[in-house]
Structure 1
């Protein structure tokens, strides 16, 4: 899907792409997609840490660190809109 979007956007100017993303429906769907990607990466990283790291303190630290990174990324994503 991303490749298809890149194909269709390759001949568009910056202004045309910006106008496309100003549509509320596109804005909302893109925001949902970005938040879903962040949630998916959070769950995946936590699963890997829980499955492969046995040291309890390191596991807790890494999960909290990932939560902090995901939270910061979500703030940036929402702040961009």
Structure 2
């Protein structure tokens, strides 16, 4: 069974791997030498926050998430994305 630390590390690694894919697909430069953007996830977030207009978007949850979250948790998540 995975520990919480294992799950955190897996999420961190997966997030960075996905971010690297996005960076390559958008032909962005990513150089670990920049102190303010040392991780792929931070580079992707920097790009998204500067160049993609913020607007309300529909949030879709997987069946597993819906089963695990209570209604107040679900509403709080929706508000944080809108």
- TM-score, with structure 1 as normaliser: 0.35
- TM-score, with structure 2 as normaliser: 0.35
Give the number of the structure with larger relative contact order, counting CA–CA contacts within 8 Å between residues 6 or more apart: 1
